[in-house]
Chain A
């Protein structure tokens, strides 16, 4: 079984400032990691994912995340945020084994970009 902890429930940040949304996971097996974004009144969209290979993963809208196996973390970063980045962000994990299909989500981090 896996679990995900998103340490900050809300993150306010000024426009054009950098942001980091933290995610830590727990798992007894190798995992795949995901970040999803949910804009107001919309469904979840995949932002980026880590499956294997390079630990630095780039996603849509200028976001990137780095997989750190030793720290069991997958923090999401953006060097300069825009008003349109205001949304809720969910970190998720799935076991990488053949029988793994269930995505386990964190409780989400609400990012508010202040003009």
Chain B
């Protein structure tokens, strides 16, 4: 079946502009994660959604970052007033409710470049 999809695949923006990144999780997956992958820094947790529970926003680096998940499916990560240090690959992942498997399925990512 279809995997996790993300759009756009690449986004180039000017410093100070707002951007929206979209994630379509695998159908039926109630858990959704956003991670950021910066060069040489590995993957940094940003935010986690599980069903109708309040999201875990503990990884968001500043109040310029926000995310929502509509209808328990599609998620949008918004970065306001982008800065050059926001340049990175933003990865979305989804999974079934946590049990012992713990397998997360990752999307291909959105490469954000802030000029």
Which of A46, A52, A106 gathers most chain B CB within 10 Å?
A: A46
Q: Which of A9, A43, A52 contacts B108 (CB 8 A)?
A: A43
User: Are A9 and B109 within 8 A (Cβ)?
Assistant: no
Chain B interface residue count, Cβ-Cβ cutoff 8 angstroms: 24
* Cα A100 to Cα B104 with chains together (Å): 13
Contact with A along B75-110 (1 / 0, CB 8 A): 000000000000000010100001011111011110
Report A64-115 residues with CB < 8 Å from chain B CB.
Answer: 90, 92, 94, 98, 100-108
A46 (CB) vs chain B CBs: closest residue: B103
Least distance between B80 CB and chain A CB atoms (Å): 24
Least distance between A80 CB and chain B CB atoms (Å): 27
* Cα A42 to Cα B4 with chains together (Å): 12
In this complex, the interface size class of chain A, counting residues with CB under 8 Å from chain B, is: 20 to 34
User: Are A102 and B48 within 8 A (Cβ)?
Assistant: yes
Q: Which of A9, A46, A49 contacts B40 (CB 8 A)?
A: A9
User: Are B56 and A90 within 8 A (Cβ)?
Assistant: no
Chain B hits for A49, CB < 8 A: 101-103
Contact with B along A36-76 (1 / 0, CB 8 A): 10000011111001011000000000000000000000000
B50 within 8 A of A: yes
Known contacts A43-B107, A108-B42; 12 further A-B pairs (Cβ under 8 A): A36-B106, A43-B4, A44-B106, A51-B101, A90-B43, A92-B43, A101-B31, A103-B45, A103-B102, A105-B35, A105-B43, A107-B40
Residues in B lying within 8 Å of A, measured CB to CB: 4, 31, 33, 35, 40-43, 45, 48, 50, 56, 91, 93, 98, 100-104, 106-109
